[in-house]
A and B are shown apart, each in its own frame.
Chain A
Amino acid sequence: MTQASAATLGFLRRRRRVHRSPQQRSDRFTGLYTVGLYTAIGAWVSVQALRQSPTRGGSATWLASGGLARAGTVALLLGLLAALRYATWQGPVVFSAPDVHFLLGAPLPRAELVRDRLGRGLLIGAGVGAAFGLAAFVLLEAELGVAAWPLLVAALLGPVALGLLAAALGWLVESSPTTARVVLRASPLVLVVAAAGWLGGAVAATVDPWSGPWGWAVGPLVAAAGGHDPGWPVQAALLVVLTVASVVAAWLGAGNASLEELERRAGARVGLDASIFMADPRGAALLRRQAVGGLLGVRRRLRLRHPRHRWLAIPWRDALSLLRTPGRVGWALVLCGTSVLTVAVAPDRKLLAAGAVVVAYLGAAQLLEPLRGEADQPDASRQLPWRWGDLMLLHTATPILTLTVIGLTVTVTAALLGLLPGPTLGMALAACLPVAAALVWSAAIAGQRGRLGLDQFMAASAMGELGGPLHLVRWFATGPLVALVALLVPVLVLQGAAGHPTPRIHAATTNAASLLVTALAIQGAWLRSRQPPD
């Protein structure tokens, strides 16, 4: 580092330290202590629970016969995708707004200033990878009972290298808006690849470890866990070479990012910190959208002729919104498609069915942005001639219709792939509309409350270390839980009748349909009775 950079950064650090009050130091220590304590307690309880679990070893066969290769590959691929998407608006190198103005605006070598932060970003990447690896080690060691040291080394090697790779590639994404745009536009495709990697059975278990760095990172782990992967030394070597090359490229290209990109991230960081402090993911999502919107640019505005009937005004406005943000429909398609295919491939797995409901809920929630926008500023709705509850119901019309079309498309596709036999297909097609309504109304019940308000946050703060987090979890889990109650019970009824004589199946179908209709009636009535948030 040049003398000028060292002197300036040294001055900045010294002076800022002087102004840090004892209270701020104490708060920082308390924060770290609390996180450390919760992590340690959580890890200890998890390890003990795993070791004493009566079903220990129950998944060993599944893991050894390709489950570990598929699950690990998909998890790491999704992790890498999340890191790269994060780098499109934040990333491993983020300066504060004053840093951009005072430091990056000064005639100091920019590469040196970036490397100072890039080093930290790489360490964090490796740390996150190590945490993931340790968690995998604890789970696998308890489940498989294989030799611990080789398993620990393999569990750490892949994720740590992938964490470093994610940070290095993250910087390359930060440096190039073109690359960032590619990451954003290719994300749905990566999800499809991940779904294929998960659902591909024995073929996927063989192919996944060779599919890219996410698979190379899993190869050694599969071998150490007693699975069959003779190519693991090559996979490990490929991963190490790629990681080293990427880190070197990022380090050498430290001066490449434009001030515009760094300033964009600095601007978003201020709001992100506030959103995190206030446990406000909606605020963070809006910031992300704003930052990414700047990257993608303003698209030509699509027009849609307005309807004549006033009751169609809100569905028309929502359709316009979806047409202008087709990415939301794309995400809904990918998420709901994954959900339907998961259930079609393994119709008898209860846990998978529950996961599929949550994934489909997330897909439905993608379509409810206009409703959320309404709940963000409820005063604006006073110009409209509807009660809040009616307005909320009107906002769900277009999403239900869209999700039904998505459901029909995915169901027919699954049938063409041979995943749905004839009688099941008819039932699945008939279920598309009510299931779409249940998912959308679940998301609407959560969304109409608006953002987590200051009163909720203060209430959580007043509930102490245990009650506060639970209060926040309850707030955020409301939507998925409502969807699970509405949909999982009918699904379990149907699963219970599988393999039984036809009359029993008919009775189960009738019962499931009745349960779903009852759930819909309760959801609709609840939604209609709502008042605007304060």
Chain B
Amino acid sequence: MAKPPVLQLRGVAKTYGTLVAVDPLDLDVQPGECVALIGHNGSGKTTTLRLVAGLLEPTQGEVTIAGDSLRLDRSRAALSFVPDSPLLYPDLSVREHLELVGLAHGVGDRLDGRVAQLLELFDLTARADFLPGQLSRGMRQKTQLACALVRPFQLILLDEPVVGLDPPSQQALHRVLVAAKHDGAAILLSTHQLGFAAGLADRAVMLHEGRMVAQGAWGSVVDGAEAGRLGLR
């Protein structure tokens, strides 16, 4: 029997008055699957991710995570989100951010080891006690990514995750996400970096002006006629 999807969108739409940000959208993401949202600026990728993250209320339709409504604490425990710009406390160090997230998500005794592992992975160990104001944009992005990965999750949402990252960090992130997929986590990411998504995404969803214009296996969508027409290749 097929596993139920981790993420299910049914007729999810978002409008602002007469402006349609996302047309009714249906989407399933299975455990261990990575789906990439691609499209031009303003196509609705970030809005879709924010709807899934619960940061926007859908005008219509329903988002369920592991079968639960987004309003339940349980669904928040299953969901990890990396926004497109780092949101950090100005008065907490890098390490303390990771500890805070681990604490809030009940990571327990494994927390210290997990924090050390992620600091090492993203080359942040030497700056673990720095405050965000002392970090470059790329390092703040790495801190944000480490925060999203320090806690257990069934679904991770990544909005333009590699913007500002150096190539070694991009590779490290790629490795971590591949490992997470193997462990059964679902991934929904939006990106303009098709090279980063190429080895990771199983499926692609192409959005244009808030509408889904193509979806399917990664290769078929990226090499398809619609991608050529929109100049996304």
Task: Please report A residues at the B interface, Cβ cutoff 8 Å.
Answer: 4, 7-8, 11-12, 15-16, 19-20, 96-98, 100-103, 105-110, 258-260, 263, 294, 296-300
Contact = CB atoms under 8 A, between A and B. Distances in A.
Contacts of B96: 15
B101 A16 contact: no
Contact of B87 (A98, A110, A299, A300): A98
A317 B12 CA distance: 38
B182 interface: no
Nearest to B15: A297
Nearest to A256: B71
Interface in B197-222: none
B106 A4 contact: yes
B225 interface: no
A15 B94 CA distance: 12
B11 interface: no
Contacts of B15: 297
B83 A294 contact: no
18 contacts: A8-B100, A11-B99, A19-B93, A96-B89, A97-B87, A100-B87, A102-B97, A102-B100, A106-B77, A106-B101, A106-B104, A107-B73, A107-B76, A109-B73, A260-B57, A297-B19, A299-B18, A300-B17
Most B C-beta atoms less than 10 A away, residue of A7, A8, A96: A8
Contacts of A100: 55, 87
Nearest to A98: B89
Given A297-B17, A298-B17, A259 B87 contact: no
Contacts of A297: 15-19
A12 B101 CA distance: 10
A110 B72 CA distance: 10
Given A15-B93, A16-B92, A260-B57, 15 more contacts: A4-B106, A8-B100, A8-B104, A15-B100, A16-B89, A98-B88, A98-B89, A105-B79, A106-B76, A106-B101, A107-B106, A258-B54, A294-B16, A299-B18, A300-B17
B89 A105 contact: no
A352 B159 CA distance: 57
Contacts of A263: 55
A100 B54 CA distance: 11
Given A11-B99, A97-B87, A107-B73, A102 B57 contact: no
B83 A7 contact: no
A299 B104 CA distance: 41
B77 A107 contact: yes
A96 B89 CA distance: 9
B87 A12 contact: no
A101 B83 contact: yes
A534 to B, nearest CB: 29
A101 B18 CA distance: 29
A107 to B, nearest CB: 4
B55 A106 contact: no
Contacts of B81: 101, 105
B26 interface: no
A298 B55 contact: no
Nearest to A21: B91
Nearest to B81: A105
B219 to A, nearest CB: 34
Contact of A101 (B87, B91, B99): B87
Contacts of A98: 87-89
B111 to A, nearest CB: 11
Most B C-beta atoms less than 10 A away, residue of A11, A101, A102, A294: A101
B105 interface: yes
Contacts of B57: 258, 260
B56 interface: yes
Interface string B40-60: 000000000000011111000
Interface residues of B, number: 34
Nearest to A266: B87
A107 B104 CA distance: 7
B173 interface: no
B155 interface: no
Contacts of A101: 81, 83, 87
B105 A107 contact: yes
A102 B56 CA distance: 16
Contacts of B74: 107
A98 to B, nearest CB: 4
Contacts of B97: 102
Interface in B1-34: 15-19
B103 interface: yes
A300 B76 contact: no
Interface string B170-184: 000000000000000
B163 interface: no
B48 to A, nearest CB: 14
A294 B96 CA distance: 34
Contacts of B16: 294, 297-298
A268 to B, nearest CB: 14
B156 interface: no
B104 A4 contact: yes
A19 B131 contact: yes
Contacts of A108: 73, 104
Contacts of B101: 102, 106
Contact of A11 (B18, B87, B100): B100
B207 to A, nearest CB: 19
A297 B19 CA distance: 8
Given A19-B131, A297-B17, A11 B103 contact: yes
B147 interface: yes
A298 B147 CA distance: 35
B204 to A, nearest CB: 26
Most A C-beta atoms less than 10 A away, residue of B18, B81, B88, B100: B100
A109 B77 CA distance: 11
A327 to B, nearest CB: 14
A98 B92 CA distance: 11
A12 B79 CA distance: 22
A265 to B, nearest CB: 12
A102 B96 CA distance: 12
Most A C-beta atoms less than 10 A away, residue of B87, B88, B106: B87
A407 B16 CA distance: 35
Contacts of A102: 87, 89, 97, 100-101, 104, 147
A105 B76 contact: yes
Most B C-beta atoms less than 10 A away, residue of A20, A107, A259: A107
Contacts of A16: 89, 91-92
A230 to B, nearest CB: 49
A427 B19 CA distance: 48
A133 B89 CA distance: 38
Given A103-B104, A107-B74, A298 B18 contact: yes
